[in-house]
């Protein structure tokens, strides 16, 4: 394959970090013209993509159009989207779907036609799905099969990337936890989300915000990290860890929300009731729970027959069954949990970050598509479209790889003992969920900011354990979220301030910051 790999140094044309839909799609496209290495911190399947249930949105129906998809996306984004980025998403999305079909992705069909369903804040049925509620897993499996058969591609699992390598202000590779330097002409971060910064989340254990943190340390600009989406319907078991996502598609198929007394309540909160924007539905559930002294609300889809539910939602049906509940007979106890980060590494229309040589796509990036509140099932599509654009940009602007070991700057962060890190990790996750979650206010955020600063001082220097690095990354991400939430003295989309409950046009711009910037001196974009 022509790739030279040793224990200290390796070189590639393109390095992809992350193995969700964005990373897999980018690596496959780049391998057509370049020597590519894909590294991931766990197994290839340890991703949010693998867990994605609902589907992937695209305007492919006869009664639909990119313009209507654009309108729904902009409305959900609450004035914080980049309309140009959204236009790219909805116009190029159908072509990416066609490419998935050509690769053999097993999208569900009805009578020989692609099955399309509707989710919250969509005004048309435009969500494709696979295996009922196994969309992400089946897309990922399809892409993995293609990837592993590619001769110009090196795939390395269980490789933890600790930081970016920077030379003369440009990114030229990464440093791994083992001390290996992997150099590349272009680095694409597709490291996924940051949900583990909150104690209650739908995200897998690997979602510790590593890409955001390493890019921030290297000096890349960040955007919109105050906008975090909480999924309204997450199973609430006897413990914090007993959770599983209940797709918005369940409400798309007619499920209703009921309070402790069994009465529907969403009609009082939004004209679309259960199909309102996620932030509205999540806060309505939280309001009901407060009235019920913390008791969860119920999700009821018992009006659908067992045969339909087993076919349409086999994963959810089985998860409920394992907990002694029958989806066709029982209401499920649910409450919100952290789900998706709209913000991340600020990128242009081709996935390019502010540092030359660095690209980002998928949830780690802030492309401007999602604004203040992601429209349901737009995330998988964004991963495809902007991975495709980033690779096309790299191909057209290829730079020769020329790196001297002596001139590379490592953004190394020393961190301390594992026991200290685990204690800090649990404390910051709990505190972030309490005071930087669904409902925020200035006083609590200010107190939390001071607490996070104190926690940062408790991490002594030294150590090479992955958990330690993940803790410092979570702490970095937490501080960025809180700083952004303090700056945004209004309520918009996934960011809600109880002390500033209304939208304020003075904040109708995005908070973009880099390590050297003052967080309260935003750059309007």
Using CA atoms, how far apart are residues 172 and 167, in angstroms rounded to an integer? 7
- For 108-158, the three-class secondary structure string (H helix, E strand, C coil) is CEECCEECEECCCCCCCCCEECECCCCHHHHHHHHHHHHHHCCCCEEEECC
Q: What is the residue-wise DSSP string for 486-524?
A: HH--S-BTTB-BTTB-S--GGG-S--EE-TTS-TTS---
Question: Tokens 């602007």 sit at which residue?
Answer: 397
For 236-262, the pLDDT digits (tens) are 987 766 788 998 889 989 999 999 999
Q: Which CATH class is domain 231-337?
A: alpha beta
Which CATH number does the domain 9-227+342-407 belong to among 3.40.190.10, 3.50.50.60, 3.30.470.10, 3.40.50.360? Answer: 3.50.50.60
Round to the nearest angstrom and report the end-to-end CA distance of the chain. 43
What pLDDT is recorded for position 280?
A: 87
Question: Tokens 């369903």 sit at which residue?
Answer: 117
- Say if CB 152 and CB 26 are below 8 A apart: no
Show Cβ contacts of residue 395 under 8 Å, excluding neighbours closer than 6 positions.
30, 33, 34
What pLDDT is recorded for position 341?
A: 97
Using CA atoms, how far apart are residues 194 and 157, in angstroms rounded to an integer? 20
Which one is catalytic: 35, 175, 278, 488? 278
How many residues would you count in the chain?
525
What pLDDT is recorded for position 405?
A: 46
Give pLDDT < 50 ranges for the chain.
1-6, 405-407, 518-525
Token pair of 247, please?
């797709």
Q: Domain extents for the chain?
A: 9-227+342-407, 231-337, 415-503
Active site residue 200: no
Q: Which CATH class is domain 415-503?
A: mainly alpha
What pLDDT is recorded for position 516?
A: 66
């Amino acid at each position: 394959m022509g790739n030279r790999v040793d224990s200290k140094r390796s070189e590639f044309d393109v390095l992809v970090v992350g193995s969700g839909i964005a990373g897999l799609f980018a690596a496959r496209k780049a391998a057509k013209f370049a020597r590519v290495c894909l590294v991931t911190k766990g197994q290839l399947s340890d991703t949010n993509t693998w867990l994605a249930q609902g589907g992937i949105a695209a305007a492919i129906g006869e009664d639909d159009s990119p313009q209507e998809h654009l309108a729904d996306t902009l409305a959900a984004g609450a004035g914080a989207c980049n309309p140009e980025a959204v236009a790219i998403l909805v116009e190029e999305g159908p072509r990416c779907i066609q490419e998935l079909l050509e690769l053999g992705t097993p999208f569900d069909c009805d009578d020989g036609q692609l099955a399309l369903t509707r989710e919250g804040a969509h005004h048309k049925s435009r969500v494709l799905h696979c295996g009922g509620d196994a969309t992400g897993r089946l897309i990922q499996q399809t892409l993995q099969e293609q990837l592993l058969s590619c001769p110009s591609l090196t795939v390395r699992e269980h490789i933890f990337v600790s930081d970016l390598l920077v030379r003369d202000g440009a990114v030229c590779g990464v440093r791994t936890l083992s001390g290996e330097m992997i150099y590349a002409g272009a680095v694409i971060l597709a490291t996924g989300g940051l949900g583990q910064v909150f104690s209650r989340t739908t995200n897998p254990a690997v979602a510790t915000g590593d890409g955001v943190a390493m890019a921030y340390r290297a000096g890349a600009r960040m955007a919109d990290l105050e906008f975090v989406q909480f999924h309204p319907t997450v199973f609430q078991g006897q413990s914090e860890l007993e959770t599983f996502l209940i797709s918005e598609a369940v409400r798309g198929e007619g499920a209703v929300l009921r309070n402790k007394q069994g009465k529907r309540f969403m009609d009082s909160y939004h004209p679309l009731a259960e199909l309102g924007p996620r932030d509205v539905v999540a806060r309505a559930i939280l309001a009901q729970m407060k009235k019920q002294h913390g008791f969860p609300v119920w999700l009821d889809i018992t009006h659908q027959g067992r045969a339909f539910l087993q076919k349409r939602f086999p994963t959810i049906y089985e998860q409920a069954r394992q907990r002694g509940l029958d989806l066709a007979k029982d209401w499920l106890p649910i409450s919100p949990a952290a789900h998706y980060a709209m913000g991340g590494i600020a990128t242009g229309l081709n996935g390019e970050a502010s540092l030359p040589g660095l690209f980002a796509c998928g949830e780690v990036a802030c492309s401007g598509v999602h604004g203040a509140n992601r429209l349901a099932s737009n995330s998988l599509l964004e991963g495809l479209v902007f991975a495709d654009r980033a690779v096309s940009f790299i191909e057209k602007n290829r730079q020769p790889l020329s790196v001297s070991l002596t001139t590379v700057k490592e953004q190394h962060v020393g961190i301390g003992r594992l026991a200290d890190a685990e204690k800090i990790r649990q404390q910051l996750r709990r505190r972030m969920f309490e005071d930087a979650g669904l409902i925020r206010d200035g006083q609590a955020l200010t107190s939390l900011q001071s607490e996070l600063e104190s926690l940062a001082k408790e991490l002594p220097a030294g150590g090479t354990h992955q958990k330690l690095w993940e803790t410092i990354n979570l702490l970095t991400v937490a501080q960025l979220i809180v700083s952004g939430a303090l700056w945004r003295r209004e309520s918009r989309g996934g960011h809600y301030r109880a002390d500033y409950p209304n939208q304020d046009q003075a904040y109708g711009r995005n908070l973009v910051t880099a390590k050297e910037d003052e967080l309260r001196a935003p750059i309007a974009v």
